[in-house]
Amino acid sequence: MGLDYLEVANQNGINHHSCGAPVVLADGLNGKDNILVKIKKGSVLKEVAIATLIHDVSAMVVLSHCKGHINAGYAGAIKNLAMGGISSEHRMHGWKKGRGCIHTFGEGIITWTKDKCTYCEQCVNVCPLGIIEFKGKKWAYIMNECWRCGRCTRVCPEKALHLPQNDEYFQKGLAEGAGAVLSTFKKKKVIYINFLLDIQPECDCMPVADVPLFQDQGILISDDMVAIEQASVDILRKARFIPDSMAGDRKVKKGEDVLKKLHGKEKGYSL
């Protein structure tokens, strides 16, 4: 929850002393401080809870760490805006108006396959809310409190957990969520800085740091979100992967698009 995030930031040297400015959580300490924004012509999202501070400020600098992503293939500024600008959950409407509405749909119920489970408890340890436990030999979670973040399903090495997901839905949700966040700003009031450094195969929400896929590629800046994302993807498409990285392990061939190949996104990215 919020205080934990602040503590992690502090442990990594990000605090008001080092920044010379307050370090705050845009959706409050409980992840419920937000304002509902309607999405006109949304194909998968209709209304989302935008973090109050992001909704209320007049200008924003979006700092994004570029990396791979299981659902989107590539994750940069668009994903950062959608996931970072939308609150964890809405006070009245829960995860269905929070960022969980991008990760899943319907009731987003997690199912567990007993025969596959080895009781390693990785899912228990990774849940940000601590709502997973084993009752005897039976997996259980508090469904009403679940954010539908999908971390437990992602870390399960046996694929014993399942959350209803669809890549196309997720990618459209990211685009529409990012659009909703931007709709709270006037034109030319947001700039983007993309860091193509320590480029990980997986999303930063995963509790592991892998060998970077590529050598550091640099830092990009633009006032055009689509342009900076396209430039970042183009750079990564041309970059040579590090042989000891996941790309080497999975035997990606020279000239292949590494992020597409690793995440099975031959049909495309979220751009």
**Quick check: 121 binds ligand SF4 (CB under 6 A)?**
yes
**Quick check: 129 binds ligand SF4 (CB under 6 A)?**
yes
**Quick check: 99 binds ligand SF4 (CB under 6 A)?**
no
Q: 55 or 97: whose CB is closer to ligand SF4? A: 97
Closest of 191, 203, 213 to residue 257, by C-alpha = 213
Binding piece for ligand SF4, criterion CB under 6 A, among 86-94, 111-119, 246-254, 256-264: 111-119
Phi, psi of 133 (to 5 degrees): -155, 160
Q: 119 or 244: whose CB is closer to ligand SF4? A: 119
Quote the strand ranges of 170-263, DSSP E: 190-196, 218-222
Q: Write down the least CB distance from residue 141 to ligand SF4, Å.
A: 5
Q: 4 or 119: whose CB is closer to ligand SF4? A: 119
**Quick check: 131 binds ligand SF4 (CB under 6 A)?**
yes
Give yes or no for a contact between 33 and 4, defined as CB atoms under 8 angstroms apart: no
Tokens matching residue 110: 């997690």
Q: 117 or 199: whose CB is closer to ligand SF4? A: 117
Residues 6+ apart with CB under 8 A from 116: 158, 159, 160
Closest of 199, 83, 194, 202 to residue 148, by C-alpha = 83
**Quick check: 127 binds ligand SF4 (CB under 6 A)?**
yes
**Quick check: 181 binds ligand SF4 (CB under 6 A)?**
no
Site for ligand SF4 in 154-173 (CB under 6 A): 156, 158, 160-161
**Quick check: 122 binds ligand SF4 (CB under 6 A)?**
yes
Give the residue, chosen from 149, 174, 203, 213, that forms a contact with ligand SF4 under the rule CB under 6 A: 149
Site for ligand SF4 in 40-69 (CB under 6 A): none
Q: 4 or 158: whose CB is closer to ligand SF4? A: 158
Residues 6+ apart with CB under 8 A from 97: 34, 36, 47, 48, 49, 87, 89, 90
Q: 159 or 240: whose CB is closer to ligand SF4? A: 159
| Pairing state between β 132-135 and 111-112 | unpaired
**Quick check: 8 binds ligand SF4 (CB under 6 A)?**
no
C-alpha distances out from residue 66 to 55, 69, 203, Å? 24, 10, 9
Give yes or no for a contact between 33 and 51, defined as CB atoms under 8 angstroms apart: yes
**Quick check: 70 binds ligand SF4 (CB under 6 A)?**
no
Measured between alpha carbons, how far is 73 from 202 in angstroms, rounded to an integer?
A: 9
**Quick check: 111 binds ligand SF4 (CB under 6 A)?**
no
Give yes or no for a contact between 120 and 157, defined as CB atoms under 8 angstroms apart: yes
Interface positions with ligand SF4 (CB under 6 A)? 112, 117-123, 126-129, 131-132, 139, 141, 146-152, 156, 158, 160-161
